Amino acid sequence: MENNSNNLNQANMPMQNNIADDEIDLRELFSAIWQGKWIIIAITTIFAVASVFYAINQPNIYKSEALLAPAEQDQQGGLGALAGQFGGLASLAGVNLGSGGGVDKTQMALEVLKSRQFTSDFIKKHNILPDLMAVESWNRETNKIIYNKDIYNQAENKWLREVKAPFKPEPSMQEAHKVFLQLVTANTNKETGMITLAIEHVSPYIAQEWVNWLIQDINATMKKRDVIEANKSTNFLTQQLEQTKIADIRVVLYKLVEEQTKTIMFANVRDEYVFKTIDPAIVPEQKFKPKRALICVLGVLLGGMLSVMLVLIRYFMNKK
């Protein structure tokens, strides 16, 4: 019995020693941190001041957004019916009616909105390159944009930025496209199908104006595309009518010409061709970002963590 108790005591000895070692290590860590408390306080203070300075110097960014609904594409219904009724005959005539499996017009419009071609045309049409690439801040009292003097001279309408080749003082449309995509967001609600189109800018008035322009221009662009396509299709179908004598195929072609005519009429009488505005964009009164309090808190936390790590690394390096 005595031997067994001795064996148990010896078996428990390593566990007790490990616990004791852990307690010593934990106390040692706290001791090291306490010894380096002034370093921790100094570094954390520096980070806190730097984060406050950074947050204060960040310009306010305002976000204006509009709620849009996909416009009803009534002309698609006729083509769908034709596809089911005359799909076989239409294929004989070399005409593809489609079966509803194509790209959704609303989704296509959103992709066009983000494209380089549309963005370039939008920037040139509304002459917004300085407001996009050279803006520094916004004066609330005068409602005027303040431009970065090292980049753009507003009085002379001259670009002054210093860049290396292949870039030029005046930003290219490729550069402008990248910056523009950072300011514009278009999110689709999967449950309702509604689209939220938003613009972020230092000026709330410019943000609202750009949202309205985007809605107008994307509707006009998609309308123009469909009208051009419908006119080309009508010309082609008319030529096919003149060449074929088969009655059933002529019926299909007449129906197709009728649908293309409806498309053109539908586009000409409707301004909100792809998107209907449910809730128009407004001039936001409150800033969207930056979150200055959050920036300061993160700066203090980052400074605290880095200073503690530095103190512990120094302590264990000196101990070795």
pLDDT tens column, 161-197: 988 888 899 999 999 999 999 999 999 998 888 999 9
Domain boundaries 62-288, corresponding CATH code: 3.30.1890
Residue 86's pLDDT is: 52
Structure-token match 């294929």, residue found: 91
Confidence bin at 256 (pLDDT 50/70/90): confident
Q: Would you say 176 and 133 are in contact if contact means Cβ atoms under 8 Å apart? A: yes
Determine the angle formed by the axes of helices 247-268 and 204-243, rounding to 10 degrees: 160
Residues ≥6 apart with Cβ < 8 Å to 308: 33, 40
Higher pLDDT: 126 or 32? It is 126
Whether residue 72 has pLDDT greater than 90: no
The CA distance from 292 to 275, in Å, is: 36
pLDDT at 219 over 70: yes
Alpha helices in the chain (DSSP H): 2-35, 37-57, 75-92, 105-113, 116-126, 129-133, 173-183, 204-243, 247-268, 292-319
Query: What pLDDT band is residue 227 in, cutting at 50, 70 and 90?
Result: confident
**Mean pLDDT, rounded, of the chain:** 82
- By CB atoms closer than 10 A (0-12, 13-18, 19+), residue 203 is buried
φ/ψ region of 204 (left if φ > 0, alpha if ψ in -120 to 50, else beta) reads: alpha
Sign, Cα dihedral of 217, 222, 226, 232: positive
Closest CA to 249 of 259, 261, 237: 237
d(CA 82, CA 71): 22
What value does the mean pLDDT take over residues 291-304?
92
Q: Kindly list the domain boundaries of the chain, sorted by start residue.
A: 2-57+293-319, 62-288
Higher pLDDT, 30 or 2: 30
Classify 187 as helix, strand or coil: strand
- Tokens encoding 206: 């410019």
Model confidence at 14, pLDDT cuts 50, 70, 90, reads: low
Instruction: Point out the least confidently predicted range of 138-142, 187-191, 312-316.
Output: 312-316
Contact between 134 and 152 under an 8 Å Cβ cutoff? The reply is yes
